[in-house]
Every structure is written in structure tokens, then in C-alpha cells.
């Protein structure tokens, strides 16, 4: 890892390799990044009843990073892959959603991990954490009856008529 790579914090989206740093150092980095996010909300949400309760423009412009940071800070476990791309741990996976500015959150794991069995409870926890931070969260059932969350900033509205589960 070069100096440039180590200086930029990246929240865990569930598609990267497990962090190389210690759990304590990673937790400290996550807390620092999340405090920075809350400070952005406070500075840009001046005049709002609770400026920390609504995603800031930065989050709306980088929703995958913002949602991944919120989930990692909440204590939810991210999934991970090895260097060959095979899933090695069970947890959340955050990726761009179907509509612009939306994010999809799945609960995934390696084959035989039981991720599908755990997804209802795990996604409910993810949804609660994101709603507390002002995101609009809908639960859907996708292919093979697997559930996932569609996450958007408030007022974005998917407008596609799909409706949640």
C-alpha cells in the first residue's frame, strides 16, 4: 500500500478485502470519519431543527460512501472478499442503487454461511441505523426471494411504483 492509499480513509462497503489495520485502529478511524460527517451536517444544516438529522450535500453526492460509513460506525459487520474476489465473511454490502442517488444494501456471505437466514434481522438493524441518520429506507425482496434495502436521502422518492415489502 502506497502513502497515498494509507492517507485516505475508505469506509467498508463489503466488497473490499478485510482491513489490514488492527480492529482498534480501524474503529478509531471510523469514529473520526463519522465525527467529520456529523460536523459537515452541523455546518451545512444551519437553521434546520436538527442539522445532524438530515444527510448533507456531501452524503447525497457520495451516497455509497456515506451509507457505508454510517453502517460501519453503527457496528454492523461488513462483508469482505479475498484478493481473488471470493466472499470470505458475512455482513452488509453497499452498492449503487437502481436510481440515481440511491444505494442498495444487501446482507451477503460466503456459500454455506447462512447469510440468507440472517438477512431479515441484520437488514432490520441496518435500516434502523440509517433511519436514525435521516435516510429513507425501504425493504424489498429481489431474485431468489433475497431481501435488500433501497436507501435514499429524504425527499428523493424512487417514483418507480415498486413499493417496499
Domain ranges of the chain: 11-152
Ordered alpha helix ranges (H), the chain: 3-7, 23-44, 57-61, 63-74, 115-132
* Cα–Cα distance for residue pair 37/29, rounded to 1 Å: 12
pLDDT digits (tens, 9 = 90+) for 47-78: 667 767 889 999 999 999 999 999 999 999 99
The whole-model pTM stands at 0.87
C-beta neighbour count of 108 within 10 angstroms: 21
pLDDT digits (tens, 9 = 90+) for 75-112: 999 999 999 999 999 999 999 999 999 999 999 999 99
**Structural contact between residues 12 and 72, judged by C-beta atoms closer than 8 angstroms:** yes
* Cα–Cα distance for residue pair 65/152, rounded to 1 Å: 13
**Structural contact between residues 147 and 120, judged by C-beta atoms closer than 8 angstroms:** yes
Amino acid at each position: 500500500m502506497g502513502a497515498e492509499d494509507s492517507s485516505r480513509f475508505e469506509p467498508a462497503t463489503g466488497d473490499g478485502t478485510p482491513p489490514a489495520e488492527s480492529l482498534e485502529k480501524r474503529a478509531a478511524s471510523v469514529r473520526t470519519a463519522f465525527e467529520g460527517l456529523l460536523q459537515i451536517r452541523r455546518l451545512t444544516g444551519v437553521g434546520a431543527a436538527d442539522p445532524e438529522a438530515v444527510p448533507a450535500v456531501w452524503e447525497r453526492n457520495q451516497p455509497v460512501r456515506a451509507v457505508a460509513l454510517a453502517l460501519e460506525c453503527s457496528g454492523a459487520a461488513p462483508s469482505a472478499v479475498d484478493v481473488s474476489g471470493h466472499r470470505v465473511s458475512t455482513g452488509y454490502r453497499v452498492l449503487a442503487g437502481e436510481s440515481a442517488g440511491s444505494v442498495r444494501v444487501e446482507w451477503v456471505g460466503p456459500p454455506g454461511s447462512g447469510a440468507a437466514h440472517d438477512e431479515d434481522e441484520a437488514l432490520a438493524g441496518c435500516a434502523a441505523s440509517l433511519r436514525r441518520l435521516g435516510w429513507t429506507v425501504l425493504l424489498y425482496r429481489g431474485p431468489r426471494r433475497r431481501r435488500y434495502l433501497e436507501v435514499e436521502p429524504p425527499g428523493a422518492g424512487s417514483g418507480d411504483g415498486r413499493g417496499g415489502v
